[in-house]
Amino acid sequence: NAGVMQNPRHLVRRRGQEARLRCSPVKGHSHVYWYRQLPEEGLKFMVYLQKENIIDESGMPKERFSAEFPKEGPSILRIQQVVRGDSAAYFCASSPESGAHYGYTFGSGTRLTVV
Amino acid sequence: GENVEQHPSTLSVQEGDSAVIKCTYSDSASNYFPWYKQELGKGPQLIIDIRSNVGEKKDQRIAVTLNKTAKHFSLHITETQPEDSAVYFCAASWAGGYQKVTFGTGTKLQVIP
């Protein structure tokens, strides 16, 4: 009964490189949510995906950021041409049905550092 | 959109004392209010939640209260222990289907042995 698995735990990228963050939800969960947490701040919603579909991307910057949740494999959050301001902890959560009231399970996060 | 404010940002209590964290929300349509605990280096973990048809909910040493009229809700931890030290987040959402969860800015609780 593995929980939400995120990898890598820590990622260092130089400015201009690409960052790929992976999230494997709880087995049987088909709803995935990505959040960003800046130091000493709360969690900011980025995107909500179901298998093969983006449902709500209202919190994700229009440029450089993209997300997918393919039929097979983990959900991927991709940040192209990273800048220092992208340094943050990125958390993924999953739920068995749509909505937090079904219970979000969070992963341990990926801490991205842009140098 | 929804806006959730949380106070205090830091809280220190002696072991055995009680701790109270307060949150307010802006969207009267919100009806689901979870609380998460985040330990250092880990992801948030749901510890208790309350829906708007209930005014209070208790689970051992943890209780939440909700005042729909005033749009505020609180987390109460009694008989605090060192392992309660963590960052606590309140949140608001809608339990009628999908609505993104809006989190408060967090309270760093330190329980002093």
Q: What value does the mean pLDDT take over residues A50-78? A: 94
Give the model's confidence band at A27: pLDDT under 50 very low, under 70 low, under 90 confident, else very high: very high
Q: Which residues of B touch A6 (CB under 8 A)?
A: 43
Q: Name the closest residue on chain B to residue A57, using Cα atoms.
A: B100
Q: Going residue by residue through chain B (113 aa), what tens digit of pLDDT does each one get? A: 889 999 999 999 999 999 999 999 999 999 999 999 999 989 999 999 999 888 999 999 999 999 999 999 999 999 999 999 999 999 999 877 777 889 999 999 999 99
User: Which pLDDT band, with edges at 50, 70 and 90, does A1 fall under?
Assistant: low
Report the relative pairing of strands A88-95 and A31-37 from DSSP bridges. antiparallel
| C-beta of residue B25 within 8 angstroms of C-beta of residue B17 | no
The three-state (H, E, C) secondary structure of B32-94, written as one string = EEEEEEECCCCCCEEEEEEECCCCEEEECCEEEEEECCCCEEEEEECCCCHHHCEEEEEEEEC
Strands A10-13 and A88-95: unpaired
The three-state secondary structure class of A83 is coil
Whether A33 has a pLDDT exceeding 70, the answer reads: yes
Q: A residues 85-104 near B, CB within 8 Å?
A: 91, 93, 98-101, 103-104
Share of chain A above pLDDT 90, in %: 83
What is the pLDDT averaged over residues A2-29? 96
Q: Smallest CA–CA separation between B19 and chain A, in Å? A: 20
Q: What is the mean pLDDT of chain A?
A: 93
CB pairs under 8 A between A and B: 66
Q: How far apart are CA B31 and CA B37, in angstroms?
A: 20
The set of residues, in sequence order, having a beta carbon less than 8 Å from that of B69 and lying 6+ positions away, is none
Kindly tell me if the per-residue pLDDT of A72 is higher than 80: yes
